Structure 1
Amino acid sequence: MADLEKLLTTDPVVQQYVSDMIEQVPEEERTVSDIPHLLQCLDQIATTAPEYHWDPASRRFFPMSHLFVYMMATDAGWNAFRNQKFNDALAGVLQYWYRFLSNEIPGQDSRTVLNDGPTGWLSPPAYEEFRLFQFEVDLGKEYGGLASYNDFFHRALKDRYRPLPTDPKAIVSPNDGKVVRWRQGVKRQDQFWLKGQPYSLEHMLNGSEYAKDFADGDVLQTFLSGADYHRWHAPVDGKVVAVDKVPGYMFAELQSMGDDPTAGTHSQCYGASVNTRGIVVIESTAPKIGLVCVMPVGITEISSITHSVSVNVQVTKGQEIGRFSFGGSSMCLLFQKGAVDHLAPDNPSGDPDNGAPVFVNGQIARAR
């Protein structure tokens, strides 16, 4: 927090952007009065675990998104959240919050919200809403037997709830979520900042040599809500040939999309080129599939991406290869040209709330 406070008091450009974005929020939506008040709110968020709340009207599952949602949609906000200095300073705040939620801060415990009371994530309503019976959560133990709030957020799934298909040509979803879009004939380089949010492989893959391999291929993007399983699995059998993590933006929205009350989910195709994201390229053992890229994309909040595989490791279809910690998240799958037939339906609207559901280890495509 000290680095952010210093930036906002010593850098006149960033200070002006942030002051203006606070003032540009319509008065009826304004919850922050000035920069000191903003810092106070961020400090409170970074030292608190989100509560559940039985009453939906009282829920703030993603409190930093709630804090920033209207600021993100102002003229000054579009500039502020794309400012590298401001983004980096916010990343420091989020990293502290990540450590708090992972119980890495001595003397502090994020598990206090893991209880069966009216604000608890282990309460009967939460148990039903989040289908906790599918996960490795033990209600007979304190805090569900979990080590931290983040341990709850990326809780392990019981194997029997996500069986693999028997078809050897099946390509499976790496995650739970909803389809945002299927796109064919994706260009190696495109104007990803346009309203239609085309995919640009060079930008998505951060200039990687693999961009040429996926040129004219397909992209499937899915959105993970806070209720979804937040680990991700291998969609095919094969060898990992590349692993990378690309630092990027966290709260930047595509300006041409206009106001977004969802705090960035309508800009997540744009986010695939500019947000913090992971890259795992797998060389499939099935020759007709070729290369497949698994690309987790952070949206707002922590944007925490953790890989559990490394280069030259053999993976099997359905094997866990990484996870998101607390925060918003999206997933892109990249396929080479002509490699697969689509099975999961497209979502022409691009609205993540309208997309068809996908489930980890469930078949989404088939090798040709």
Structure 2
Amino acid sequence: MNAKAEVDIVTHLAVCASQDWARVDRIVVGNFVTASQAQRKWYTKVLNKVSTGDYRLGANSANIIVQNRMTGQLEEEKMQVYVRLGIRLLYKGWKGRMEGARARRLLKSLSIKQGMKYDSPDSVRDIPPFIEFHKLNKEEILRPIEDFKTFNEFFYRELKPDARPVEKPEDPYRLVSGADCRLMAFESVTEATKLWIKGREFSVARLLGDAYRSEAERYNGGALCIFRLAPQDYHRFHSPVDGVIGPMTYIAGEYYTVNPQAIRTALDVYGENARKIVPIDSPYFGRVMAVCIGAMMVGSIKTTVNEGDTVKRGQEFGYFAFGGSTIVLLFERGVVEWDEDLLINGRACLETLVRVGMGIGRSHRAPSPVS
């Protein structure tokens, strides 16, 4: 399909929307689609135009469509008011230097105040409506709901040991998802910046900060993936590979939303947000850089491992306090081959909903001693 045809389809949907929104909901959101249908380029291109591209049905609605990998179904991501507020602040307040500085201060203030609120005992009253709003599965939570003393305790809750099994636990060459998240996978950093990450100042060196700037070169031409965690997701993160934890470093920064529409602006969200760099030295995947990025309303990034610890695939190594957040994984050149469905969705700018332990790729390299 060419650009004009795409515009014609979007225009048609917009005309339908002006008469009956429910009809468009049935077309774009309500329908069940198979994985093969969702992978057709024309389908995902048009969907992207409707949901996150230049053409947005319902301006400023910040709607996001993802594909649930387990069901093949397209789902609209549920978003609470504070997220929409942050997105609007980001776009409407970024037109000038003075407005941008004011938006930064306001977002940081909101994050700090929200964090204090959710650390207070009174915040437990917010747990039941949060569960109801996001239709969370209470059966997989390790502790009874009434045991949580604050909302934040609930937010970084642990799950039962069998809730997130690791695919092919006997095969260390199988790469697994490190989070319940919306995943984007790319064969190279260049492809990621062409299709998804639009920040003008984004670079691997800037992402890694001063402590690891000298290692940026080793990731040129290497694969990259993005685990984006929405507030409703399980917020503990796990190792995607077998390996040894290297020296970790924290980089102070901003608290911008990691919503896709923020990532696809000129602002370098990943390079400006607060983040923690966690290297994992793997005999099967080389040095994997896990960049744990805080976002709007995230006041802390906690790691539950120490330098020198050995981790297995699917083993927890940290968690985020309340808010949305992201983990960017960097791989050396020629190491990773992604599963085909993830690549197809990535090229169509469609995020894939995956869970901890789900297989997402394979290693190409023979095992070598850990450096």
**Same-fold status (TM-score > 0.5):** yes
CA–CA separation in structure 2 for the residues paired with 1:196 and 1:66 = 20
Query: Residue 361 of structure 2: SS of its match in structure 1?
Result: strand
1:356 match: 352
Change (3 A) 1:250 1:77: farther
Q: Which segments of 5 or more consecutive residues in structure 2 lack a partner in the other structure?
A: 1-58, 61-77, 365-371
2:138 match: 132
Q: State the AA in 2 paired with 1:170.
A: R
Residue 201 of structure 1 is aligned with which of 204, 212, 215?
A: 204
1:214 match: 219
Q: State the AA in 1 paired with 2:91.
A: A
Query: Residue 205 of structure 1: SS of its match in structure 2?
Result: helix
CA contact (8 A) 1:289 1:367 kept: yes
CA RMSD of superposed structures (Å): 3.5
1:183 deviates by 3.9
Q: State the AA in 2 paired with 1:362.
A: M
**Where do 4+ consecutive residues of structure 1 move more than 6 Å?**
190-194
2:87 aligned with 1:69, yes or no?
yes
Q: Report percent identity of matched pairs.
A: 24
1:152 deviates by 1.5
2:126 aligned with 1:113, yes or no?
yes
Q: State the AA in 2 paired with 1:171.
A: L
Change (3 A) 1:242 1:323: same
TM-score, length-normalised on structure 1?
0.66
1:273 deviates by 2.0
Residue 148 of structure 1 is aligned with which of 144, 147, 150?
A: 150
Aligned length: 283
1:252 deviates by 7.2
Query: Residue 333 of structure 1: SS of its match in structure 2?
Result: strand
CA contact (8 A) 1:82 1:252 kept: no
1:239 match: 244
CA contact (8 A) 2:93 2:103 kept: no
2:114 aligned with 1:101, yes or no?
no
1:82 deviates by 4.9
TM-score, length-normalised on structure 2?
0.65
Residue 91 of structure 1 is aligned with which of 89, 103, 108?
A: 108
CA–CA separation in structure 1 for the residues paired with 2:89 and 2:176 = 38
1:256 match: none
Change (3 A) 1:248 1:163: same
CA–CA separation in structure 2 for the residues paired with 1:109 and 1:334 = 40
CA contact (8 A) 2:199 2:268 kept: no
- Cα distance per residue 1:7-30 (max 9 Å; x no partner): xxxxxxxxxxxxxxxxxxxxxx99
2:298 match: 302
1:168 deviates by 2.5
- Cα distance per residue 1:51-83 (max 9 Å; x no partner): xxxxxxxx97352x3334323212655635753
1:15 match: none
1:130 deviates by 1.5
- Cα distance per residue 1:99-139 (max 9 Å; x no partner): 33123xxxx52111234xxxx2355x75xx2222222242x
1:218 deviates by 1.2
Residue 315 of structure 1 is aligned with which of 307, 311, 318?
A: 311
CA–CA separation in structure 2 for the residues paired with 1:247 and 1:213 = 24
CA contact (8 A) 1:225 1:328 kept: yes
> Relative CO higher for 1 or 2, CA cutoff 8 Å, sep ≥ 6?
2
2:335 match: 339
CA contact (8 A) 2:199 2:266 kept: no
CA contact (8 A) 1:173 1:361 kept: yes
Q: Which segments of 5 or more consecutive residues in structure 1 lack a partner in the other structure?
A: 1-28, 31-58, 254-259
CA–CA separation in structure 1 for the residues paired with 2:301 and 2:148 = 20
- Cα distance per residue 1:38-62 (max 9 Å; x no partner): xxxxxxxxxxxxxxxxxxxxx9735
CA–CA separation in structure 2 for the residues paired with 1:197 and 1:349 = 20
